[in-house]
Structure 1
Amino acid sequence: MKLLSYNVNGIRAALNKGFINWLKSADPDLLCLQEIKAQTDQFDISLFENLGYHSYWYPAEKKGYSGVAILSKNQPLSVKYGCDNQKYDQEGRVIQANFENFSVLSVYLPSATNTSRLGFKMEFCEYLLEYIKKLEKKFPNLIINGDINICHKAIDINDPIRNAKVSGFLPEEREWMDRFFDQCNLVDTLRVFNHEPNQYSWWTYRVKTARSNNKGWRIDYSLVTTPLLKHLQRAYILTQAVHSDHAPVGIDFDLNKIQNL
């Protein structure tokens, strides 16, 4: 079973850059999207249905902003839109699909490039931590895919010294991630298989050569709760996909073993 997560930075823009052909080729069993930036009447959902996906979209109330989605070849038992807090739900930041023996979330944490949003970001982070702690009591086999908008370790960012006071790598953001992993029993799947530096998932558009020179940040994650760790086969970043300033991140599971949990 292949699970991918992709901040597309606008699903309409991605579709114009060949996203459907890429999706057909990549052929994930399940795909989490972030920053869709569109209402469902603004693009053709049948494009995904024609590839065999059940698709669930949770746009922000504000048009052209935020929003998450889950596409799955297997129909979920249920889907939950939001995280029980209208302050965050109006921005379309969490969607959850529940299957027989596991549950998947697509999450998009706020950025704080505008420093006035840092307080909002940290409030949401604290809320999400407590929300996930409660959720995993009901769904112990939990997968969290998404754009966390934080580099956890110095290895996850190009030039950690110069970026030490930039949102996305602030001490309080990184400390929150420590607690998020510890208190929610979460594993950073990429670092199970890959301990090398220069593994990035986002490159700023503001510097034209950022991606070609791999001057990036790793802010997109596939996280799993510890019971699922033994069923992981692979974790990776698909840097060849260029529909966005982000790259998809992925994990492969032994589906038979998960079904027998």
Structure 2
Amino acid sequence: MQNPAQPYPGAQPWQSGPPDTGPRPEDLAQDAAAALGVTKVYGSGPTQVVALNGVDVQFRRGSFTAIMGPSGSGKSTLMHCLAGLDRITSGRVLLAGKELSTLPDKALTRVRRDEVGFIFQSFNLLPTLTARQNILLPLDLAGASPDPALFDQLTQGLGIADRLDHRPSELSGGQQQRVACARAMIAKPSVVFADEPTGALDFKSGTALLEYLRHCATDLHQTIIMVTHDARAASYSDRALMLLDGRIVDDIDSPTAETVGAAMANLEA
């Protein structure tokens, strides 16, 4: 486990060290997303909360990363900042080669639409639309045409090809989450963000979804960043980041349920 850096003289409480040149541009070109010295502060004065404290992390294209930590550790804030849903206080966020921290709101909205896919714990399907219509919704909003081969690949691979004309109320929780997964990937985003994607699923449905996400990273070279509290879910990833008090305190390659569980126990000790 890494020890947080000591603040340098004259630093704000959330600043962990002096500015440096950071990663080389050629290194960043290999990344789907990156946070460079990112700090996120909510509020001011006595109510100020430092949600992220000088976070530096890069996500390679085609990688599957789990973000973990106790409640309030900053994992959801990090995901929201990486996805352009939340503005950072200081530092840099890059997504698909674009620096989000300098983009005006309209340009940031376009980046989210074109480069980001989301899978939510609560599915977030529109109840009046069929599964097919829900999947194609991101393309409809962007005025883009679907790729029939990709549509078939996603719906067949997720086992929902025979449920496409059903509305969400006619689908099981597992089927709804698989529809949400297809919707997140139909526009070929640079990064798919998954927020506790198995939290509302039973063991079998959760396993099926995790296996498909693993397949997408390995075989389709899709970049996936997943927030989870589940050590077993994290074991499907290439890498597990551990957050505590807004800092990355551990970075586990090829995580297993056992190594992740032990790391979480250390954080909560």
Common fold: TM-score over 0.5: no
The structure whose Rg is larger is: 2
Q: TM-score, normalised by structure 1?
A: 0.32
**Greater helix share, 1 or 2?**
2
Greater RCO structure (CA 8 Å; 6+ sep): 2
What TM-score, normalized to structure 2?
Answer: 0.31
